[in-house]
Homo-oligomer: A and B are copies of this chain.
């Protein structure tokens, strides 16, 4: 099995660095400081409308690098695979990873695979298929104009604007629907996408964006709460500015969820000086991943915390959610 996997990786991820297949990949001297991040992906089901575990593993790590302001360049991929995992699925996942990496102009330069036994199958009572987990670790390089600047929550000031590149909650809704645990049919695709090109274009016209984050697990609400927790400021978002697709809304009403807490995998929350808001918005809307971009709120000195301005004009608090709504959404 190891030999088959090795051959498949070389087939799909082929590039001069990986092809050497040494103990480690050699990367030319970076021109600036680098960003480094790792994430494990255990999403269930592994195939879902809009993506699969492989696409997610590539996009997720690319996005973590991109929101720090770095250009994602190199990925290392580790697979942990249970015995009996269908080879045809593995091939589909690798094809998807290769395609996504190519689109995002990122190279997969190092990899590893471990095969583990399927203990559930050994009990003779297997309810689920063999599993796969993918861990992607990425290296990004900061562009020259970010030589002496780091984005960070400490850059955020009162009166700044909060932007997002489109509607929310689509990834988690797609996963919930793909699990088929509820009698609810709707077509919602995960928004899973690599955001590095969009973000790099935004940094070119506005190299002093204060802060960016991809609102994945815990959604927009959690991301905004994490921001205010470390700044001692407040954020007010406008309920009417936030796009929620009817199917996302429908699922939330049925299951009693708040879409503001649902995970996204192709969204970026941007905090910027008020003077840059319209310029960034216009640039985002030119990108296929930012067509529905919106200014959704502002940073305030008071009240502290995160608040939603409702349609009636009143403020309701948006708290940090304890626990998670659904496991294994990424």
Contacts and interface: CB of A to CB of B under 8 A. Distances in A.
Given A80-B80, A117-B327, A133-B133, A33 B27 contact: yes
A139 interface: yes
Interface in A101-147: 109-117, 119-120, 122-128, 133, 135, 137-140
A30 interface: yes
Interface in A286-326: none
A23 B123 CA distance: 39
Contacts of A28: 33
A77 interface: yes
A24 interface: yes
A80 B80 CA distance: 10
A268 to B, nearest CB: 11
A238 interface: no
A232 interface: no
Interface stretch (A62-70, A88-96, A274-282): A62-70
A170 interface: no
B30 A24 contact: no
A37 B213 contact: no
B112 A23 contact: no
A231 interface: no
B39 A33 contact: no
A116 B26 contact: no
B35 A26 contact: yes
B115 A40 contact: no
A127 B38 CA distance: 32
A78 interface: yes
A175 B41 CA distance: 28
Contacts of A26: 33-36, 68, 150
Given A42-B80, A114-B40, A119-B127, A24 B65 contact: yes
A38 B123 contact: no
Given A125-B123, A133-B80, A110 B29 contact: no
A80 to B, nearest CB: 5
A68 B22 contact: yes
Contacts of A34: 26-27, 29-30, 139
Contacts of A32: 29
A198 interface: no
A152 interface: yes
A23 B267 CA distance: 14
Interface in A1-31: 20, 22-31
A135 B78 contact: yes
Interface in A174-219: 213-214
B23 A68 contact: yes
A124 B70 CA distance: 47
Contact of A37 (B65, B76, B138, B140): B76
Given A26-B33, A30-B30, A78 B116 contact: no
A198 to B, nearest CB: 16
A328 interface: yes
Nearest 4 interchain pairs by C-beta: A24-B37, A38-B76, A137-B137, A123-B125
